[in-house]
Chain A
Amino acid sequence: HVQLVESGGGVVQPGGSLRLSCAASGFTFSSYGMHWVRQAPGKGLEWVAHTRFDGSKKYYADSVKGRFTISRDNSKNTVFLQMNSLRGEDTAVYYCAKDWAPRDWGQGTLVTVSS
């Protein structure tokens, strides 16, 4: 039974930083790529970043490139999203999702960027 549990969300001021975590269980984590996807309040879904199964390649949406960094620790079955230089438009629920064609998602963690 696949389980993905995000944590690390909260309220942060514009220009601040936050690190999200996604703890995975129920599958061989080191064999799967992982995504981060976000959803602003009342809006649709936006893909944010992807890491390959071994962390060797990482991909980012243009809207976060240079500010966000995706990483993973396969020994701890966890994927991370380091978010720097946060802006108001980064306010969203952030979901992690398993595999290139994501069929399993976590419950999400809310990030609010506000002064």
Chain B
Amino acid sequence: DIQMTQSPSSLSASVGDRVTITCQASQDINNSLNWYQQKPGKAPKVLIYDAANLETGVPSRFSGSGSGTDFTFTISSLQPDDIATYYCQQYDNLPLTFGQGTRLEIK
């Protein structure tokens, strides 16, 4: 199975800050990576697909980069509505595997 190591596990930042989350795959997954946002009681919502493509309707302050084994998710200017848990997920191979999640809080 492909292991996804996501960091940090939690993050506290101020409104307007630049926030970065990283995800490392245990083997090359090309660009087969999604980034999800999940709010309490809700289903995960995809923000970034194929590692760097912004899903339709998602604000442009969200971005993703990387390929191979190392990936980065960035919020360029944190907004109050961004409070959530964020997950990376690889779909290069089954089983689909997820990072352990990053809980983002407002400072």
Q: Enumerate chain B residues within 8 angstroms of A44, measured Cβ to Cβ.
A: 87, 98-101
| Nearest CB on B from A89, distance (A) | 17
Q: Enumerate chain A residues within 8 angstroms of B34, measured Cβ to Cβ.
A: 101-103
Q: Could you tell me the distance between the alpha carbons of A72 and B44 in the complex, rounded to whole angstroms?
A: 23
Report yes or no: B89 in contact with A45, Cβ–Cβ below 8 A.
yes
Q: Which of B50, B95, B97 is packed against the most chain A CB atoms within 10 Å?
A: B95
Q: Is B74 an interface residue (CB 8 A)?
A: no
Q: Is B13 an interface residue (CB 8 A)?
A: no
Report yes or no: B43 in contact with A108, Cβ–Cβ below 8 A.
yes
Q: Could you tell me the distance between the alpha carbons of A59 and B96 in the complex, rounded to whole angstroms?
A: 11
Interface of chain B, main secondary structure: loop
Report yes or no: A103 in contact with B46, Cβ–Cβ below 8 A.
yes
Give the residues from 101 to 115 in chain A that come closer than 8 angstroms, CB to CB, to chain B: 101-108
Q: Is B49 an interface residue (CB 8 A)?
A: yes
Q: Enumerate chain B residues within 8 angstroms of A107, measured Cβ to Cβ.
A: 42-43
Q: Is A27 an interface residue (CB 8 A)?
A: no
Report yes or no: A101 in contact with B32, Cβ–Cβ below 8 A.
yes
Q: Could you tell me the distance between the alpha carbons of A106 and B50 in the complex, rounded to whole angstroms?
A: 21
7 contacts between A and B (CB under 8 A): A44-B99, A45-B89, A46-B98, A47-B97, A47-B98, A59-B95, A107-B42
- Which residues of chain A have a CB within 8 Å of any CB of chain B? 35, 37, 44-47, 50, 59, 61, 95, 100-108
- Which residues of chain B have a CB within 8 Å of any CB of chain A? 32, 34, 42-46, 49-50, 55, 87, 89, 91, 94-101
